[in-house]
Amino acid sequence: MNQPNPPGTIAPHIPADVYQRAQATGQPVVFVVNDRPPASIEWRRLLLPFAIAGATVAGGWGLVAALCFLMDAAVHTFTVIAGAAGPIGVGGITLKLARGKSH
């Protein structure tokens, strides 16, 4: 396997002197590949899904809190307006929307 040029993209980690010596002497170049997966859990692979899930949960709770606040403000506003307006009548039916303060 005598090639005139180093392999380039095939194995860019071979030093030039080792490659040239192998070409000159005809020695084979041995590649050692460690393809065994690590024995422990790679925490970096789990970090991104947990970060996304945590952000989703926090955003969901924030949305619920914001909706509760807006509903509370809307109900309070409706109560104040209804108390100031007094009873409302439509077609002979009269509704009192808010009770007055009775001491």
- 4 vs 80: which has the higher pLDDT: 80
Show the DSSP H helices in 1-42 as ranges: 16-25
**Which range among 16-25, 34-43, 47-56, 88-97 has the greatest average pLDDT?**
47-56
Q: Is the pTM of this model over 0.85?
A: no
Report which of 96, 97, 99 is spatially closest to residue 78, judged by C-alpha positions.
Answer: 97
Residue 6 has pLDDT above 60, yes or no: no
Confidence band of 100 (pLDDT split at 50, 70, 90): low
Instruction: Find the mean pLDDT for residues 21-28.
Output: 85
Q: Judge whether 14 and 30 are in contact, CB under 8 Å.
A: no
Instruction: Find the mean pLDDT for residues 10-22.
Output: 72
Distance between CA atoms of 28 and 53, rounded to whole angstroms? 51
Per residue, what are the HEC states of 57-87?
A: HHHHHHHHHHHHHHHHHHHHHHHHHHHHHCC
Mean pLDDT of the chain: 78
Confidence band of 17 (pLDDT split at 50, 70, 90): confident
| Structure tokens, 40 | 């422990």
Distance between CA atoms of 98 and 79, rounded to whole angstroms? 6
